[in-house]
Structure 1
Amino acid sequence: MAASVHLVKLCVGIDKISALKERQALPHARTSDGFPRHVTRMWPKREADLLDGGSIYWVMNGLLMARQALVRLEEVRREDGILRCGMVLSPEIVPVEPQRKRPFQGWRYLKPEDAPADLTGPAEEDDEDLPPSLLAALADIGVRRG
């Protein structure tokens, strides 16, 4: 029986949720049926666990800031002929309670009980104006929104 699990992934070159939305709106970042897709070199060994309600949690500027539900995994062959994993994502990007994350390569698995809570308040547009260092400081002292 599969037990749901999530992934944590660095959002390289992206510093806020609106920029992630813009990148995922580009034609090369979408599947033929219109879903956003993130292509990565390795195929997750815990595929069944991920597809049992899992999400990708995005790290921006050293903070875990948002998540997207995983819809499916698909094979992607790029121009170099190498087979890669296309992580097909829900179009909805959900802001989460900011949480510090150190830099790492690839992805890390995240247990559901360790995942930050979704933000339910009027969230991301207001947060777009706050510097990452302030968001991190607020997270460190336990200031919660939502």
Structure 2
Amino acid sequence: MPQNLIKLSVGTESPETLRQWQEYMRQTYGRTYHTTRMSPKRRDEVLDGGSIYWVIKGAIRCRQRVTDLEEFTDEAGIKHCRIVLDDNLIETAAYPHRAFQGWRYLAADKTPPDAKSGTNADALPEDMAMELRDLGLI
């Protein structure tokens, strides 16, 4: 069963600004990845179809499939991990999430569904849609 990760996208305002940042990464480095200090121990499960879910402005807003985990040691002798990502950024239903440091494993029952285009909730401003979801109205 695939294991998902969750990570804050610090400094990102929306899935679109994350998409723009990652496009810059692809143009500069030829691929999309995120470097982190700790490497997931459940490597095989993450690489078995797992995704990284991005928390943007207090809510999970999108995800990307993890395609590789590359461990490396920098010039100072410190170990790191590159989480290599699929270029396709998939928006999800907004799911409130508090701030945290680093990445975490994300339980399958805590993953929001992918966004459905054309629904009434998509036509609402995101902050209003989140508040209505919190109240259980949509």
Structure 2 length-normalised TM: 0.84
Distance 2:38 2:27 in 1: 18
Would the alpha carbon gap of residues 27 and 99 (structure 1) be closer, same or farther in structure 2, given more than 3 Å must change? closer
Q: CA offset at residue 81 of structure 1?
A: 4.2
Structure 2 CA distance for aligned equivalents of residues 79 and 25 of structure 1: 27
Report the identity percentage. Answer: 37
CA distance 1:36–1:28, change in 2 (3 Å): closer
- 3-state SS of paired residue (2:113): coil
Question: After the TM superposition, which parts of structure 1 deviate over 6 Å for at least 4 consecutive aligned residues?
Answer: none
1:86 aligns with 2:82: yes
1:7, distance to aligned residue in structure 2 (A): 0.5
Write the deviation string for residues 21-57 of structure 1: whole angstroms up to 9, x where unpaired: 11112248865xx321000000011111111110000
Equivalent residue runs for 1:46-57 within 5 Å: 46-57=42-53
Residue 42 of structure 1 aligns to a residue whose secondary structure is: coil
Distance 1:117 1:98 in 2: 9
Cα distance in 1, alignment partners of residues 128 and 134 from structure 2: 10
Distance 1:119 1:30, change over 3 A: farther
Deviation sequence 1:31-88 (CA, Å, 0-9, x none): 5xx3210000000111111111100000001000000000001134445442310000
Q: 1:39 to 1:80 in 2, by over 3 A?
A: same
Between stretches 103-112 and 75-84, larger displacement belongs to: 75-84
How many angstroms apart in 2 are the aligned matches of 1:9 and 1:57? 6
Distance 1:82 1:30, change over 3 A: farther
RMSD of the alignment, in Å?
2.5
Tell me the equivalent position of 1:101. Answer: 97
**How many residue pairs end up in the alignment?**
136
Structure 2 counterpart of 1:42: 38
Q: Any stretches of 5+ residues in structure 2 without a counterpart?
A: none
Gaps of 5+ in 1: none
Q: For 2:35 and 2:22, how far apart are their aligned partners in 1?
A: 12
Which position in structure 2 is the counterpart of 1:18? 16
CA distance in 2, matches of 1:57, 1:85: 17
Q: Distance in 2 between matches of 1:107 and 1:29?
A: 25
Tell me whether 108-117 or 5-14 shows the greater mean CA deviation: 108-117
Hey, what does 1:137 align to over in structure 2?
A: 131
